[in-house]
Structure 1
């Protein structure tokens, strides 16, 4: 196994692929030897040469930081000696030439999907029950508790927690020490074996804290987002609950649907509580129309569809120092494969593209898209700075602990999810992806706000790379979790779908892991394999309020 990695010939720092101790000496990737003057943990970077104060740090071939003090050769790069720095960018001459990957192994491949009237194809067949305002959240939860288990849609339970055992010990007068020693995990049961509607993959009940009380623009964006969810090919139709007086009026949702999908023909039931006789009658009607909608949704069956009907959301979260050299580039290769086959990919999280803007600008196929990307990045950055924040504050404590010490360093690795293909379109939040190829979507770096936006822009699959581990998923887009390191894949096997740590160990190449990932996506898209997030019922949904969120 390689012990250290210099990612790009222009780099002046090297990634530690194992723990190094002060006094050790290693052979450098480019020749020669280097003695370590201090301990360097796995995933962190060490200085290839001596730096003076104020020098630029380069990684992935781009500027990722600036030294705060002299940094001797063979010492660790950290937040104590390096601060964020990134390159400026301009919109000028662009180059969209690229070496498309060989897709002969996937030519003519299909997945079993749900064909919609507008020509799109879903990887799942869901019914949505959604509120236009947070005042309806309780009603959503009441309907959910009334319908899910009865219709066979309670998530498979890998285990149950026996709280009764703890209550019994407490009533027997047992102390805290014995309570802590009590085994309360029990084997789970499959509660989905007897679905009333076998062709409907689930009912998804969304709740949120928006729709009123904030700025009107947030309510308008919420309606566009919900229209995106209803229009997503993974959705058969929906039940919408409105209070009546909120900012997010039914008319705004209808306008958003008409703008996005002029020929919207899915069954949609809209109920207003302030026009009902009572809350009980309102809930009863919602249950009945939802049941009627499920009857219609159940008439659709899976049929073969080409891979060009896949729209893949590209996401990372809980990233570590290996994310940018294993999971993210492997996902980028799978993205390149998919767009070569005629599909779509969506790269989001604009705060985590800070420092690689020039590369993405240069890959835009039109000047209009390049200018739009530059405008969205600059205006987002300015809004962050106006409230006393900045993109440079994006790395989390977990990122920093595992080797991502600046936003530019994190961004340079995060951008690898987008592969090398040209950028065919740039989308603001809630805008739909309509052009085959790689799209850029303006979302926050916040994991769930970003995945929520990806599904709202049409993703019918999401791949979520992670180095630290996260259980998150999406209500309507199956979310494949890809680990950057094998230790995580083993430790959190119940939430991880695929291990990219084999790239670090040398068992796989970026290419072979990307091809393996696409094979997995085809199985997931056709309903032949559930993701871990689906098995856990991880349906995370957080609309972005355009106040600053990093």
Structure 2
């Protein structure tokens, strides 16, 4: 970032600025001088902040001074405290008009149009487990189909096992059970799957037959189920499963890509390994890409409820109705209770890596994370793994833990994932491929094999939020058409299927 200014001020009302590189003590910053070494990405007080006074960044509250802070001091965990938010919520007071692109002029990508009208960006066969006890069987079925076995089926992207560590030792009703069933249904009906094989044990709490009945799933040439106990053991289950997949492959291979409008894209908006630049470069750029997608009639899905804490009032102002806004507040209240009864804190995030990158409180992190949602109206708020029906900018409840969050977004229908990162991430996902955006040029250069886009050049003035956002949006179309993202090319996604486990393990 040698061409970047020494610091970034985000709003005239802020009482901190952010250093773009390590600054020695005595460095001039606006009208003050730094009193100590300031690491890159960390905050500097530009005026005295008395003990108990608000610390402001993004023109918003990010914490309170836990001691007197002098002008030029390093502002971070040693002198900043978190307090639960107490917001005044408004609904629909910041609704911005979206200039929709006429249908006959919308961008297109080459996707897989399914019989039910949904559109996929990939063409996989999925082996989905109901319980941990069938995980080995599912992995061995999927592992049978390597490059040699799939060479005759060039239109099939692969056979993937989606295994998890739950499905039994849980209540047969309530939040946890319902969330797992929604995940299974979402993956069973995902447009990026040409065929699905569900494998269970037989005696587990999460019964496959209950799922079929509850969601009206019907078995057929491209949808099969089996239980280890019914088949008579692990070996026979693996053998039978391999034969079932073999029968699906020629049918799945008949799928071909055809032109589809960008309105068929549903993109999971994610961030992980965040740093101070996440909310300044990559997240706003992804937000601009989300606005471009919304104007095309497509859908962006923001998630990670704990990571909008302290920024939710900005989202309710964009809610298209009080009902949508109230649903979001309801999620916040649930999380406050959830963390309290488990003797946790909403401020257990940022992680150590986030803090090293300059993020001090969850409030600061959330304000940056919410930028991924752009400026379009908030059209819908959904439960974890619930099918997303609304178009435009939407929100889904989920933990901040990336694998669990993305699993819910994909189950909800996302056929692409865009993941911003400042510290660096090796995340990838299936069946929806992940695009990764670096927040800073130093990390991008160090992890170039993992990063698809560098948003760090926004800091140096070589790019703008708008130009970078358009670059990300255009990459959506190319990856949706079959271009491999870097995480996809490295084979990531087989172990990132992590349904959110809610409730007691019994």
- Cα distance in 1 for residues equivalent to 2:218 and 2:321: 29
- Equivalences for residues 331-370 of structure 1 within 5 A: 331-370=286-325
Residue 208 in structure 1 maps to residue 164 in structure 2: yes
- Equivalences for residues 375-524 of structure 1 within 5 A: 375-524=330-479
- Cα distance in 2 for residues equivalent to 1:263 and 1:51: 64
Partner residue, 2:49:
51
Does the 8 A contact of 1:122 with 1:460 survive in 2?
A: yes
- Cα distance in 1 for residues equivalent to 2:101 and 2:34: 44
- Of the three residues 167, 186, 189, the one matched with 1:228 is 186
Deviation at 1:99, TM superposition (A): 5.0
Does the 8 A contact of 1:85 with 1:408 survive in 2?
A: no
- Equivalences for residues 39-438 of structure 1 within 5 A: 39-85=37-83, 87-98=85-96, 100=98, 107-152=105-150, 195-216=151-172, 217=174, 218-258=176-216, 267-438=222-393
Does the 8 A contact of 1:2 with 1:506 survive in 2?
A: no
Does the 8 A contact of 1:313 with 1:451 survive in 2?
A: yes
Q: Could you report, residue by residue, the CA deviation over 1:126-161 in whole angstroms, capped at 9, with x for unpaired residues? A: 110011110011112222332224324xxxxxxxxx
Residue 5 in structure 1 maps to residue 8 in structure 2: yes
Structure 1 unaligned residues grouped into runs of 5+? 153-194
Tell me the TM-score normalized by structure 1: 0.87
* Structure 1 residues 404 and 547: CA distance shift in structure 2, 3 A: farther
* Structure 1 residues 327 and 107: CA distance shift in structure 2, 3 A: farther
Does the 8 A contact of 2:200 with 2:227 survive in 1?
A: yes
- Cα distance in 1 for residues equivalent to 2:280 and 2:340: 30
* Structure 1 residues 12 and 346: CA distance shift in structure 2, 3 A: same
- Cα distance in 1 for residues equivalent to 2:473 and 2:259: 17
Deviates more, 1:139-148 or 1:503-512: 139-148
Partner secondary structure for residue 128 of structure 2: strand
Partner secondary structure for residue 437 of structure 2: strand
Residue 541 in structure 1 maps to residue 497 in structure 2: yes
Partner secondary structure for residue 224 of structure 2: strand
Deviation at 1:273, TM superposition (A): 1.4
Does the 8 A contact of 1:212 with 1:219 survive in 2?
A: no
Does the 8 A contact of 1:118 with 1:263 survive in 2?
A: no
4+ residue runs over 3 A deviation? 90-93, 99-104, 262-266
- Cα distance in 1 for residues equivalent to 2:142 and 2:75: 50
* Structure 1 residues 450 and 440: CA distance shift in structure 2, 3 A: same
Does the 8 A contact of 2:347 with 2:361 survive in 1?
A: yes
- Cα distance in 2 for residues equivalent to 1:264 and 1:466: 41
- Cα distance in 1 for residues equivalent to 2:432 and 2:17: 37
* Structure 1 residues 264 and 469: CA distance shift in structure 2, 3 A: farther
- Cα distance in 2 for residues equivalent to 1:103 and 1:348: 26
Partner residue, 1:530:
484
Partner secondary structure for residue 472 of structure 1: coil
Does the 8 A contact of 2:385 with 2:411 survive in 1?
A: yes
Does the 8 A contact of 2:187 with 2:410 survive in 1?
A: yes
Does the 8 A contact of 1:64 with 1:86 survive in 2?
A: no
Task: Give the CA RMSD over aligned residues.
Answer: 1.9
- Cα distance in 2 for residues equivalent to 1:263 and 1:284: 23
Larger Rg over CA atoms: 1
Q: Could you report, residue by residue, the CA deviation over 1:186-245 in whole angstroms, capped at 9, with x for unpaired residues? A: xxxxxxxxx221111111111110110123343332121011012221111200111110
Deviation at 1:107, TM superposition (A): 4.2
- Cα distance in 1 for residues equivalent to 2:18 and 2:213: 51
Does the 8 A contact of 2:308 with 2:370 survive in 1?
A: yes
* Structure 1 residues 253 and 63: CA distance shift in structure 2, 3 A: same
Deviation at 1:478, TM superposition (A): 0.7
Does the 8 A contact of 1:96 with 1:365 survive in 2?
A: no
Q: What is the total number of aligned residue pairs between the two structures?
A: 496
Q: Could you report, residue by residue, the CA deviation over 1:315-334 in whole angstroms, capped at 9, with x for unpaired residues? A: 00000111100000000000
Deviation at 1:477, TM superposition (A): 0.7
Partner secondary structure for residue 220 of structure 1: helix
- Cα distance in 2 for residues equivalent to 1:464 and 1:268: 31
* Structure 1 residues 149 and 83: CA distance shift in structure 2, 3 A: same
- Cα distance in 2 for residues equivalent to 1:302 and 1:93: 41
Does the 8 A contact of 2:319 with 2:378 survive in 1?
A: yes
- Cα distance in 2 for residues equivalent to 1:118 and 1:236: 12
* Structure 1 residues 257 and 267: CA distance shift in structure 2, 3 A: farther
